[in-house]
Structure 1
Amino acid sequence: MKTRRKQGGITLLGFIIVAGVVGFFLFIGFKLFPMYSEYYSVKSALKSLAAEPGVGNYPPARIQDLFFRRLNISYSAHVKKEHVKIQRVDNGWQMDVKYEVREPLVANLDAVGRFEATQMLTGTGADPN
């Protein structure tokens, strides 16, 4: 006597629904990845600037120039000079970067990312000038 085995699996409709949900999340990920990648480039530029010898003695214009040179290497497009604030703190500088990125998603829906990064610039060493 032969018994019928019950087949298991996903139906075509179930596969289309799963593919649609996965596709939606991939689409959102592809839209959000560049803004987070840029944020990590900003953090990396701040850390490498803090490691520069004598940065605590640099004038703010030179600090800002060095920061934007580091950002240009990583093709960062959303951070502008008005987003960067440098203020004197004790024996160095505090650099704050606050900016917003708005990416269109679908029709009139946008993804908005607000990013903030702060770094103390107290590198000691010889005066560069």
Structure 2
Amino acid sequence: MKRNQSGITLMSFLIVLAVVGFAAFIGMRLFPMYQEYYAVKSSLKGLAGEPGVGDMDPAKIQDLFFRRLYINYSENVKPGNIKIERMDGGWKMKVNYEVRRELVGNLDVVGKFDVSQDLTRKGVE
């Protein structure tokens, strides 16, 4: 009685390993960009919860925002990427920035991120 062997060959295993390795490499390149994006979002949400932020000066709001980003080691958001506009009962803060990372050789990956948050909390009155 003969048995048929089943499974993947060495060549198939190497192809699967190469595909998984390439996907892991791409993930390692993209992860820091999205980690920074979520740090920006979390900094904006924390800033929105700050008492009296709706009545603060835009320069003070920007300073508080960059202090929060400094804690998260964010390096791609610059003051020129921030726009603070007046709205009813407070401010609307928009952060629009771009991140460019080298991928392989002369190929780059570009991430464009745009986040906005209403800053209207009056705090304890």
The TM-score, its normalising length taken from structure 1, stands at 0.94
1:1-129 paired onto structure 2 within 5 Å: 3-125=1-123
Q: In 1, distance between residues paired with 2:58 and 2:9? A: 63
Q: Which runs of 5+ in 1 are unaligned?
A: none
What are the Cα deviations for residues 27-52 of structure 1, in whole angstroms up to 9, with x where unaligned?
00000000000000000000000001
Could you tell me how far 1:126 is from its partner in structure 2?
Answer: 6.0
Q: Structure 1 vs Structure 2: percent identity of aligned residues? A: 61
Distance in 1 of aligned mates of 2:59 and 2:68:
14
What's the RMSD between the two structures over aligned residues? 1.1
Give the whole-Å Cα distance in 2 for the aligned partners of 1:20 and 1:51.
Answer: 46
Q: TM-score, normalised by structure 2?
A: 0.97
| CA distance in structure 1 between the partners assigned to 2:66 and 2:34 by the alignment | 18
1:97 partner amino acid: V
Give unpaired runs (5+ residues) of structure 2.
none
